Amino acid sequence: MSSRVKGVESVQSSVINSLKVAVRSAGMSVLLLLGGSLTGAHAQQDGITLNGTLTQGSLIRGQVAPDAVVTLDGETLSLNSEGKFVFGFPRDAGLSHKLKVELADGTTSVREITLTKREYNIQRIDGLDSKMVTPPKAVLERIRQDNVNVAKARSKVTDADALFTRFEWPAKGPITGVYGSQRVLNGVPKWPHFGVDVGGPTGSPVTAPVQGTVMLAEDLYYSGNTLILDHGMGVFSTFLHLDSITVKVGDTVAQGEQIGTIGATGRATGPHLDWRLNLGKMRLDPQTVVSGTPD
C-alpha cells in the first residue's frame, strides 16, 4: 500500500481498548466481551448474553432462550435452534437503539443501547492505474456481473453458528488500512473503506478466521482474486486481492486452515489482504470481532 496510509490504524484505538463493556439499564445486566466467550456473571440472572462492542460498525452476537422473541428497534431478529442471534450497526448508525426480549412466559425486558460514535480519517491512495479508479465502459458489464455474483454468494442464511467462536486474524503483518476511512483514490473521492488491510509479502498465507463454507472464489475486476466464506446466520468474511486461492466453492474449511495467499490483484498498489465482514448486506468492521493485532 502507499506510504500515505501510515498512521490510519490509529482511528480505531478506542474500539480496540473497549475490550470489556458493562451495560446496565432497566434493572437488567449484560456483560459484553470483545472476542471473548459468551458467558458472564450476569448472563444466568437475566437469561441473555451479548458479545460485542457498542460502537458504530460492530457485530453483536447474542443468546437467549430458544423460545424468546428478540427485536432491535422494532425489527424481529432471527434465532437459531439454540437461541443464538446476531445484529450489527453500520458505519454511520445512529447512536440510540432499543433491544427488546420477550420470554415465553410473557416476561419482557427492554434495553436502551447507546453506541460510541467513531471518527474516521481520510485515506489518500495515489499511484493507481486510472482504469481502476474510473473504469472504461468496456468493463462496466463485468463489474455489474461481479456485484451480482457477490450478492448471490452472501444471500444464504443458515443456522450454522461458527461465528460464535473467537475469531483469529487471517493473516500476519502490519495493519495498513482500517474500516470506515474515507478513500481518495488518485485525488478522486470514493466510497469509504469497509475492511481492514493487513500488509505482507506476496505468497504469505491467508487462513480462515473461523470455520466457514466457501461461497465464492473467483477473479473480480476491483478486488482481484476474491474469496467469500459463510460463517452462518448471515455472517460472511470476504478476502480481497489474493495472489492465489487454495480452496473451491462448496468446501468447508476449519479455523486456521489456509484458504489462499496474500497478493496485489485487482485495485491495489502493493501486496496486502483486505479482510471484510458482512451481516447480509451490512458492512461491518472485522476488528470488532478479533482482538489484538495481526503482527
Average pLDDT for residues 171-195, to the nearest whole number? 84
Among 5, 97, 121, 114, smallest CA distance to 55 is for: 114
pLDDT band at 15 (very low <50, low <70, confident <90, very high): very low
Instruction: List, in sequence order, every residue forming a beta bridge with 217; answer none if it has no partner.
Output: 227
Least confident among 178-182, 254-258, 284-288? 178-182
Q: Which residue has the higher pLDDT, 109 or 24?
A: 109
pLDDT band at 33 (very low <50, low <70, confident <90, very high): very low
State pTM to two decimals: 0.80
Residue 57's Cα: distance from chain center in Å?
8
Q: What is the pLDDT of residue 184?
A: 73
In whole angstroms, give the CA distance from residue 35 to residue 75.
25
Q: What is the pLDDT of residue 129?
A: 67
Question: Which amino acid is located at 159 in the chain?
Answer: D
Biggest alpha carbon distance in the chain?
Answer: 62
Please give the mean pLDDT across all residues of the chain: 83
DSSP-derived pairing of the beta strands 212-220 and 252-253: antiparallel
Q: Which run of H or E residues covers position 235?
A: strand 235-242
The C-alpha angle with vertex 212 and arms to 15 and 144, in degrees rounded to 5, equals 85
In whole angstroms, give the CA distance from residue 106 to residue 224.
51
Q: How many CB atoms lie within 10 A of CB 246?
A: 16
Least confident among 46-60, 145-159, 181-195, 202-216? 181-195
Least confident among 33-37, 165-169, 220-224? 33-37
pLDDT band at 182 (very low <50, low <70, confident <90, very high): confident
Q: What percent of the chain has pLDDT over 70?
A: 78
Tell me the CA distances in angstroms from 241 to 69, 180, 201, 224, one per residue in order.
41, 19, 12, 5
Q: How far apart are the first and last CA of the chain?
A: 16
Q: What is the pLDDT of residue 131?
A: 66
Q: What is the pLDDT of residue 34?
A: 32
Question: Which amino acid is located at 49 in the chain?
Answer: T
Q: Give CA torsion, residues 191, 181, 93, 103, to 10 deg.
A: 110
Q: Is the pLDDT of residue 78 over 60?
A: yes
Q: Give the CB-side neighbour count of residue 273, counting CA atoms within 13 A.
A: 31
Q: What is the pLDDT of residue 257?
A: 98
Q: Read off the pLDDT of residues 249-269 as tens digits, 9 standing for 90 and up.
A: 999 999 999 999 999 999 888
